């Protein structure tokens, strides 16, 4: 809303062009070990993590993504895949129909944990998927490969056996690009 818009405008005013620098206002290294492969999987919704993939495919198809989705996919790219967060900010800049420079870049700085004095807010994309899409309606809408998968597997399709993947027509959905154990509390 307007409060968030104003917050990010004041944040950008305070920190100036630091919101565009690799280390953000904090001036810390943001990792950036992830490369083109990880970025491409993320950008095109092929990570094997349904909540991330559904949000990225919605963005590519419509130019929109919910705030919840934006926070999750940004956290996943920067903190889990360790891709330079600025690549994600650039991608959003190219796709979002409601793009705003200060909101976008400031949100990405926060997602990467590069504001001074801010605690890191790493999202567990498996847990978030289960909490905010309990029946997997959103995931199944944007991921046709999972359309016939029961909700009990739709958030964690890697739990299906090969036979179950075939039975539900999910063979084309990718396996996770990161070990699911990275989200043990999911």
Question: What's the rounded Cα separation, in Å, for the pair 186 and 181?
Answer: 9
The response to whether 138 counts as a known ligand-binding position is no
The response to whether 84 counts as a known ligand-binding position is no
CA angle in degrees (0–180, nearest 5) for 49-54-58: 155
Which tokens hold the place of 38?
A: 């990880």
Question: How many Å separate Cα 43 from the centre of its chain?
Answer: 9
Question: What's the rounded Cα separation, in Å, for the pair 157 and 180?
Answer: 11
The response to whether 90 counts as a known ligand-binding position is no
Phi, psi (deg, nearest 5) at residue 83: -90, 145
Residue ranges of the annotated binding site for FAD are 98-100
Binding-site residue ranges: 98-100
């Amino acid at each position: 809303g307007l409060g968030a818009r104003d917050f990010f405008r004041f944040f950008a005013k305070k920190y100036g062009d630091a919101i565009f620098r690799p280390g953000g206002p904090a001036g810390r290294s943001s990792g950036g070990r992830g490369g083109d492969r990880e970025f491409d999987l993320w950008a095109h919704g092929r990570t094997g993590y349904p909540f991330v993939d559904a949000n990225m495919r919605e963005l590519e198809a419509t130019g929109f993504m919910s705030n919840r989705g934006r926070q999750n996919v940004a956290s996943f790219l920067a903190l889990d895949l360790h891709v330079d967060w600025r690549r994600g900010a650039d991608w959003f800049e190219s796709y979002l129909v409601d793009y705003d420079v200060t909101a976008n870049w400031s949100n990405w700085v926060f997602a990467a944990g590069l504001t001074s004095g801010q605690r890191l807010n790493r999202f567990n994309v498996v847990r978030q998927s289960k909490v905010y899409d309990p029946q997997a309606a959103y995931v199944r809408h944007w991921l046709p490969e999972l359309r016939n998968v029961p909700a009990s597997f739709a958030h964690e399709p890697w739990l299906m056996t090969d036979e179950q993947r075939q039975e539900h027509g999910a063979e084309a959905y990718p396996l996770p690009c990161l070990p699911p154990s990275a989200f043990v509390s999911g």
